[in-house]
Structure 1
Amino acid sequence: MRTLDEIKDRCVITDEGHWLWRGALRPDGRPNIFAPDYTRAEGQMRTQCGMRAVWHCVHQKAVPEGYRVYGTCDERACCNPAHVKCTSEVDYGAWLQRTGKFKGQTNRILANRAIGRQRAGLTPEQIVYVQTSEKTGIALAEELGVSTATLSKYRRGESIAVRASGGLFSGLIGGRP
């Protein structure tokens, strides 16, 4: 697909104005389009995500460093250039927060919890040690390899992101009365 018209010809146009790609799709449902890639291949033809391919066909230049190309509609297979936007990572994050696009998605919630557990980095025994120790926060943070902010949360009892010893549902199963 060298031009936007070629991409449009491979799409089904809906009443809402979406251009739904009829070609190959990626596992997540986004279009997989062979088009000029000005960002990574200096304009040579290359398979890329549909939104990025559309942006390259329209603008015929590289995506600026620190910017992201994304679709603004709810149709993952949409290739309408009016539904494709290129903004900085900061603006993209603000847009995600404003629209709530990923809010309530179980896989994202679980991923964020896993990140929190990794950042926590202390076992329940270490947390008790932190809460009962008379050492300074700086000394304890250095000793345990965590930030002073994380340590302060443990001391105040605010941090609850700890690893369960037997798995996610270990407290539900077992011989406890």
Structure 2
Amino acid sequence: MRTIEEIKGRCFITEDGHWLWKGALRPDGRANIYAPDYTRWQGDMRTQCGTRAVWHCMHRKPVPEGYRVFGTCTEKACCNPAHVRCASEEDFGLWMRKNGNYKGKTNRILANRAIGRKRSVFTQESIAYIQTSDKTGRALARELGVSEASVSKARRGDIVVFAGAAGGMFSGLIQRGAA
């Protein structure tokens, strides 16, 4: 496929404007199109994701560094150029957040929990130090470089410390126990 017209010819056009690819699909359901790849292969024909192939056929230039080509509709196999967008990684993230595409996805929830655990400044030792210290919450917060609210939560036992950054989905429940 070298032109948008060729791609359109291999698609089923729906009433609401989607161009659903009738050819090969990737395991995730996106179109798999043999088209010029200006980003990685200087315009040589390569198999690539449908949205990227459409963008290359439309613009005939590489995707800029730090940018991403993605579909803006809910149909993964859609190849309509009006539903294809090229944006910076930051804009893509904002668009994903605005549309809630990752909301409720277990793998994203687990990934965000793991990130939070790696960023945590509390260890079992620091929690024990806070709970046994005679210092005020304000003094401990200044000493440890955390907020007073965090010190208060640690003293109440509301902060759960995980052994290492890894942990399963229910590791917080197991660590805390049923009191």
TM range (shorter): 0.7 to 0.9
Query: Paired residue for 2:162?
Result: 163
Is 2:140–2:151's contact at 8 Å kept on the other side of the alignment?
no
After superposition, the Cα gap between the structure-2 partners of 1:167 and 1:102, relative to the gap in structure 1 and judged at 3 Å, is: closer
Decide which moves more: 58-67 or 112-121. Answer: 112-121
| Mean Cα deviation higher: 25-34 or 44-53 | 25-34
Amino acid at match of 1:3: T
Shift of 1:99: 2.0
Query: Could you say if the C-alpha distance between residues 27 and 160 of structure 1 is closer, same or farther in structure 2, counting changes exceeding 3 Å?
Result: farther
Q: Name which of structure 1's ranges 77-86 and 8-17 shifts more when overlaid on structure 2.
A: 8-17
Query: How many percent identity over aligned positions?
Result: 63
Structure 2 CA distance for partners of 1:113 and 1:176, relative to 1, 3 Å: closer
Judging changes above 3 Å, is the alpha-carbon distance between structure 1 residues 167 and 52 closer, same or farther for their aligned structure 2 residues?
closer
Report how far residue 79 of structure 1 moved: 0.6
Residues 44-83 of structure 1: matches in 2 within 5 Å? Answer: 44-83=44-83
Distance in 2 (alpha carbons) for counterparts of 1:123 and 1:130? 11
Structure 1: gaps spanning 5 or more residues:
141-147
Secondary structure of 1:157's counterpart equals helix
What RMSD, in angstroms, separates the aligned Cα atoms of the two structures? Answer: 3.2
In the comparison of the two structures, how many residue pairs are matched?
166
> Contact 1:32/1:47 (CA < 8 Å) preserved in 2?
yes
User: Deviation string for 1:111-139 (max 9, x for gaps)?
Assistant: 21122123227543443346657898798
Q: Distance in 2 between matches of 1:138 and 1:44?
A: 60
2:17 corresponds to: 17
8 Å Cα contact 1:24-1:31 kept in structure 2: yes
Q: Are the counterparts in 1 of residues 110 and 169 from structure 2 also a CA contact under 8 Å?
A: no
Unaligned runs of 5+ in 2: none
The 1:161–1:102 alpha-carbon spacing in structure 2 relative to 1, beyond 3 Å, is: farther
Q: Is the 8 A contact 2:51 2:84 kept in 1?
A: yes
* TM-superposed deviation, 1:29: 1.4
Q: Which amino acid aligns with 1:9?
A: G
| Separation in structure 1 between the aligned mates of residue 71 and residue 131 of structure 2, nearest angstrom | 47
Helix, strand or coil: the match of 1:25?
coil
In the alignment, the residues of structure 2 paired with residue 112 and residue 35 of structure 1 have an alpha-carbon distance, to the nearest angstrom, of: 36
* TM-score where L is the length of structure 2: 0.74
Residues 17-166 of structure 1 correspond to what in structure 2 (within 5 A)? 17-120=17-120, 122-129=122-129, 151-152=146-147, 154-155=150-151, 157=153, 160=159, 162-163=161-162
1:54-97 deviation line (CA, Å, top 9, x unaligned) = 00001101111121111100111111000001112222222222
2: distance between equivalents of 1:89 and 1:127? 37
- Structure 1 residue 110 displacement after superposition: 1.9
- Provide the TM-score with structure 1 as the length reference: 0.75
